[in-house]
Structure 1
Amino acid sequence: MKTIIQLAPIKGITDRTFRSAFVRHFGGVDSALAPFLIKTDSESKYKSLSPEMNPGLRTVPQILTKSPDDFIALSAKLQNYGCDEVNWNLGCPFAMVVKRGEGAAMLQNPEIIESFLEKISSAISIDLSIKMRVGMHSPDEILKLIPVINRFPVKEIIIHPRTGEQMYDGEVYPEAFRAAMELSSHPVIYNGDIRTAGDLLKLYEFFPGVKGWMIGRGLLINPFLAMEIKNGKSEDDAGKIIRIKQFADYLCESYVNDLQSSAHVLDKMKGVWFYLSQSLPDGKKIEKKIRKAGSLNHYMDEVERIFK
């Protein structure tokens, strides 16, 4: 089967520096959706989403807002930087976002989504995609949303089969996803809970009509996953450990060059290792040692000891 794999946005982790290092050392992903932008983000943050600053990996910017006017203005800004597609975030479940009526909170109001799309569709001149959940409170909410979205020009819809209330835990709703896929006149991407090549194969058998797969935490935990899915084989453990060390060293060096504060670099690397350690023997011990590092030099020394 032809497999299209997209890297999901993980706030605080999958930034431009991480994406560049990931593609350099592991590959297998066809594109990435960047962590969401908001109106108050700096100009440099918008510029960092330009194709020029993301060589080697097609990267789609994502906007989090309930204001169509803001979406139009921010889309124009991204287009000026060379972007040809923008994604609308209708899936973020975080309490602060939901309280503002943004992200997943909008899923309970089809009429607001319809009004939003009516205003932006004729006002933006780049492709629009949408990332959403099956609902905020109920998986049935998506059945009212897809017919609304069908009325507008949308490149693709990325659907996570949980509600906003569930955050990232609890049972998924495969039947709600299937119903949405069958209702949709736009291509659909599946997002969520793909940790192994076997997971994706089972999902493919259940949803043969999907356009592709968006993977986030599964790739952060096992960065070889995309290539394992596409090649049908796995690298030996010794080879994996060597490449993980090379990736971590390169990423840390890149952050040192990109960021002004060593404390910020340390926080970034601790965030990466929270996931990456789960793919290694004694992963919990490794993560604990790295988490306790009090300085960047301490972190670097600890990594050298771990891989000695």
Structure 2
Amino acid sequence: MKYYLAPLEGITDHIYRRTYHKLFEPMDKYFIPFLTPNENGKLSKRQRQDVLPENNEGMYAVPQILTNKTEEFLSAEAYLGSLGYEEINLNLGCPSRCVVSKGRGAGFLADPDGLRRFLDEIFEKSNIRISIKSRIGVRDVEEFGALLDLYNRYPLEELILHPRTGKEFYKGSPHREVYRYAMKESRHPLCYNGDLFTKEQYEDWEKKFP
């Protein structure tokens, strides 16, 4: 079993990650809260500080990128590769209205043709392993079948799945049956995300989804 530190904007910055890594049981991966490259693929000063190798020393850190433009993604990827990163994560899961309204995060799932073109180009040109964090659709769980078919076309490092739609935000319960479908049909290593708040919930989940 592997355990990851999920990214939480404004909370799990490099100070939090270093402190956690030093004082507690180390995580297998630490995901850096999403980076938002500008039109030239550049990161803000704060984001550059967060990805500096000396601020993530001794841990396997994975930067997460939030964009729907290939040139922004590839430019940010080139910069991160120059710092020594071997894996980056594409955020297709954030349900925040200000993100979704710009067609980013979970909002990008509403444009399957655009998403396919985006993935075609970044996987053709990328030199770094790419994982994806995703919701199961924008409004309806029925969207997930076609979405998983799309993901299965690419050599993902892994698929991190939060089994809610973007519209559901964090309300209701995760759709366990959709995650079970993903376990059966995904070509890639699968990671679960969402609503495991206690040891008992984790043990129950592990029993039902070994």
Verify same fold: TM over 0.5.
yes
Matched position secondary structure for 2:84: coil
> Could you give the per-residue CA deviations for residues 151-202 of structure 1, whole angstroms, max 9, x where no partner exists?
1111000001111112122121001111122211000000011112221222
Q: Does 1:78 align with 2:80?
A: yes
Q: Which amino acid aligns with 2:207?
A: E
Matched, 1:194 2:163: no
Is the Cα contact below 8 Å between 1:15 and 1:35 reproduced in 2? yes
| Distance in 2 between residues matched to 1:46 and 1:62, nearest whole Å | 13
Q: CA offset at residue 44 of structure 1?
A: 5.5
After superposition, the CA RMSD in angstroms is 1.4
Distance 1:76 1:47 in 2: 16
Name stretches of at least 5 consecutive residues in structure 2 with no aligned partner.
none
Alignment partner of 1:54 is 2:24 = no
Deviations 1:83-125 (A, max 9, x none): 1111000001111111101100122332222111111112110
CA contact (8 A) 1:47 1:78 kept: no
C-alpha distance in 2, partners of 1:109/1:139?
Answer: 16
**AA at the equivalent of 1:31:** K
CA apart distance, 1:43? 4.7
Aligned to 1:30: 28
In 2, distance between residues paired with 1:130 and 1:160?
Answer: 11
**CA–CA separation in structure 2 for the residues paired with 1:89 and 1:181:** 20
Aligned pair count reads 206
| Cα displacement (A) at 1:47 | 5.0
Paired residue secondary structure (1:195): coil
The aligned residue for residue 230 of structure 1 is none
Residue by residue, what CA displacement relative to the aligned partner does 1:11-50 show, whole Å, maximum 9, x if unpaired?
1100000111111122242111111000133256235324
Residue 126 (structure 2) pairs with residue 124 (structure 1)? yes
Contact 2:65 2:91 in 1 (8 A): yes
**Alpha-carbon distance between aligned partners in 2 of 1:76 and 1:84, rounded to the nearest angstrom:** 11
Partner Cα separation in structure 1 for residue 3 and residue 53 of structure 2? 19
Contact 1:160 1:190 in 2 (8 A): yes
1:129 Cα offset (Å): 0.3
TM-score (norm 1): 0.64
Q: How does 1:135-214 map to 2 (within 5 A)?
A: 135-208=137-210
More helix by share: 1
Contact 1:107 1:141 in 2 (8 A): no
Identity rate of aligned residues, in percent? 38
Which whole-Å CA distance do the structure 1 matches of 2:156 and 2:206 have between them? 23
Distance between the aligned counterparts of 1:42 and 1:116, measured in 2?
23
TM-score by length of 2: 0.93
Matching residue of 1:296: none
Q: Tell me the distance in 2 between the aligned counterparts of 1:64 and 1:102.
A: 7
Indicate the structure whose relative CO is greater, using CA pairs within 8 Å and at least 6 residues apart. Answer: 1
> In the TM superposition, what whole-angstrom CA distance separates every residue of 1:228-256 from its partner, at most 9, and x where no partner exists?
xxxxxxxxxxxxxxxxxxxxxxxxxxxxx
Residue in structure 1 matched with residue 67 of structure 2 by the alignment? 65
CA–CA distance in structure 2, aligned partners of residues 60 and 200 of structure 1: 24
1:34-82 deviation per Cα after TM superposition (whole angstroms, max 9, x unaligned): 1100013325623532443202321100000000111111111110111
**Cα distance in 1, alignment partners of residues 2 and 20 from structure 2:** 17
Structure 1 contact 67–116 (Cα < 8 Å) conserved: yes
Whether contact under 8 Å (1:47, 1:81) holds in the other structure is no
Which residue of 2 is the match for residue 10 of structure 1? 8
Amino acid at match of 1:42: S
Structure with larger Rg: 1
